[in-house]
C-alpha cells in the first residue's frame, strides 16, 4: 500500500525555455522595481523639502 505522502510526480520545470509571458513578466518586474525606487526617492525628497 502506497501512502499519499510517498507518491512523487515528476513535472518538467521548463518545457521550452522562456516563453513570451516569462519575458514580459521579467520586464514588468524591472519596471516596477525602478518605479518603486523613484517613488521612494521622491517621497524622501518631499519630506526633506517640507522639513527644511
The answer, yes or no, to whether residue 18 has pLDDT greater than 80, is no
> pLDDT band at residue 11, thresholds of 50, 70 and 90?
low
Provide the CA 2 distance to its chain's centre, in angstroms. 38
Q: What is the pLDDT of residue 49?
A: 98
| Higher pLDDT among residues 3 and 1, named by residue | 3
Question: What pLDDT shows up at residue 7?
Answer: 62
* pLDDT value of position 46: 98
Please state the rounded mean pLDDT for residues 23-45: 96
What pLDDT is stored for residue 29 in this prediction?
96
pTM above 0.75, yes or no: no
Amino acid at each position: 500500500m502506497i501512502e499519499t505522502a510517498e507518491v512523487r510526480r515528476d513535472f518538467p520545470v521548463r518545457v521550452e525555455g522562456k516563453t513570451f509571458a516569462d519575458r514580459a513578466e521579467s520586464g514588468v518586474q524591472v519596471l516596477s522595481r525602478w518605479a518603486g525606487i523613484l517613488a521612494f526617492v521622491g517621497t524622501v525628497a518631499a519630506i526633506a523639502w517640507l522639513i527644511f
